[in-house]
Structure 1
Amino acid sequence: MNGLPLPQELYLIAHDQSGRPLVHPSSMAIGLAGAALLELVVGERVTVSGGRGALADDTPLGDAVVDGLLSLVRRDRSGGDVRSWIRQAAGEVCRHTQASLVAVGALAQVTRRRMGLLSQTRHEITDMAWVVRACSGVRAAAEGREPPDARCAALCGLVGVLEVDAALYLGQPSNQLVVRLRAIAAEHSPMIREVIGTVETLIRDAAVAIYR
């Protein structure tokens, strides 16, 4: 993998510098789990078709978050249900992604006491250069400056589905940019399109469940 893996890049794009997520935590978790699955797809470890996934190569990719999902796929008893993979991975993916970003120096765990109340711990971005690098490929693809590779197309789709495009600072209307980002992913490959669609469905289902 060149640069940070997809879950880490998505995490940086989808949080502000103080560590607050730009989307609901349940959506964030599903998005990160989907990013880990897309890293496996792009890395040719997993194939996806018709809502089912299959292990193609169980060689680890060298990232704890992504390889954790690879282990889950290896032990799968769901018959390759992609939705099940993402839902299972979503449980701990935020915590594991944070830990991996702390390890590379992109996040710092900061504890502050606010107005004499209980202390609050956040994972703050140490330098916005990390975010700039995470966004660079997506920005170039959205502006049509560079054709996206598979990883970039996958990240475009995730940013579009989570609607965290404000971090790109492109000055385009958000609704138009979201459509553009999702189209980049959809046009790249059927497997990327399918995983992005599954992530979108799970996010929508989670949002409905919150208000029941």
Structure 2
Amino acid sequence: MDLRHSCSHRHQYLIDDRRNISPISSSIVAKGDLSVPSLADDLFFVMHDDVTGRPRVHPRLASLGLAGAVIGELMLAERVSFEVAPGHDRPYAITRDATGDPLTQKVLDHIVAEPHHPVSTWLVFFANTIYADVTARMIAAKLLNPPSRHLLKKQPATPADVNSAAWPLARLNLAVQRREPPAVRDRVLYGLFAATGGAQRTLWDHDPAFVAAMLAGLPLPLRRLIVQTEAVVGGAVISRR
């Protein structure tokens, strides 16, 4: 599809100065199959009540955050990285190997087919369908119960297990409370949640200084993903005013 008409472990990373590219190389990066519970699943849980499934974040902003999370899944699995340039952070495929998951495969296929688009364009484009896509994937994985109707009103999908749904937010709360930077994956989770505006309202103690230091330790491509997600969320907020 032509988008021109649409819309705490130590980690190390390597830098290719020829293209200002920073591929991710980490002992805790999840390589290989992407069909297991994911970054986007965890972000969905922290953006919704762990009992009722009701949103804590406006649906449009949640969709942009989930779009960032699915790209983040591909980055953590070393399938995608960023070519970083002023005003033009562009994702590119490191490998075209099958992801083992239809949703991340669809996103990867788009990036492979049209590699010239900046990440901001991809975030807005994927946000159009990503909320429904992630919800469907989580229902298929039995992480969510399908939406139901009560008195002719459609109810949201609810967590299949309250403890599992509450755990991602609990991990973030514990990390801030203890001032212990979490693993890379949860740093990205925190960053994307903060980018949607949800962290400031939901976490027990949102410490901007600790969060800034925590995110500064991420590899450059992941930091740029969070920055760009925050930027498109900010644009969406302004457009609604």
- One fold, TM greater than 0.5? yes
Q: Secondary structure at the match of 1:188?
A: coil
Task: Please report how far the alpha carbon of residue 209 of structure 1 lies from its aligned counterpart in structure 2 after TM superposition.
Answer: 0.9
1:84 aligns with 2:121: yes
1:181 aligns with 2:214: no
1:112 aligns with 2:149: yes
CA deviation map 1:127-171 (0-9, x unaligned): 211223323543443344754332122112112222333655xx4
**1:192 partner letter:** L
1:33 aligns with 2:67: yes
In 1, Cα distance between equivalents of 2:179 and 2:240? 40
Question: Corresponding residue for 1:207?
Answer: 237
Equivalent of residue 123 in structure 1, options 153, 157, 178: 157
Q: Secondary structure at the match of 1:59?
A: coil
Question: Corresponding residue for 1:159?
Answer: 193
CA deviation map 1:19-68 (0-9, x unaligned): 22111111000000000111111111111122112111112332332222
Q: Give the conservation status (yes or no) of the 8 Å contact 1:46–1:54.
A: yes
In 1, Cα distance between equivalents of 2:162 and 2:69? 21
1:15 aligns with 2:53: no
Q: Compute the TM-score of the two structures, normalised by the length of structure 2.
A: 0.75
Q: Which runs of 5+ in 2 are unaligned?
A: 1-29
Q: Which runs of 5+ in 1 are unaligned?
A: none
How many residues in Structure 1 have an aligned counterpart in Structure 2?
202
Q: Compute the TM-score of the two structures, normalised by the length of structure 1.
A: 0.84
Q: Give the conservation status (yes or no) of the 8 Å contact 1:29–1:91.
A: yes
In 1, Cα distance between equivalents of 2:106 and 2:174? 30
Q: Give the conservation status (yes or no) of the 8 Å contact 1:18–1:124.
A: yes
Identify which range, 24-33 or 158-167, moves more after superposition: 158-167
Question: Corresponding residue for 1:44?
Answer: 78
1:58 aligns with 2:96: yes
RMSD, aligned α-carbons: 2.3
Q: Give the conservation status (yes or no) of the 8 Å contact 1:7–1:36.
A: yes
Q: 1:149 to 1:58 in 2, by over 3 A?
A: farther
Q: Give the conservation status (yes or no) of the 8 Å contact 2:56–2:198.
A: yes
Identify which range, 52-61 or 26-35, moves more after superposition: 52-61
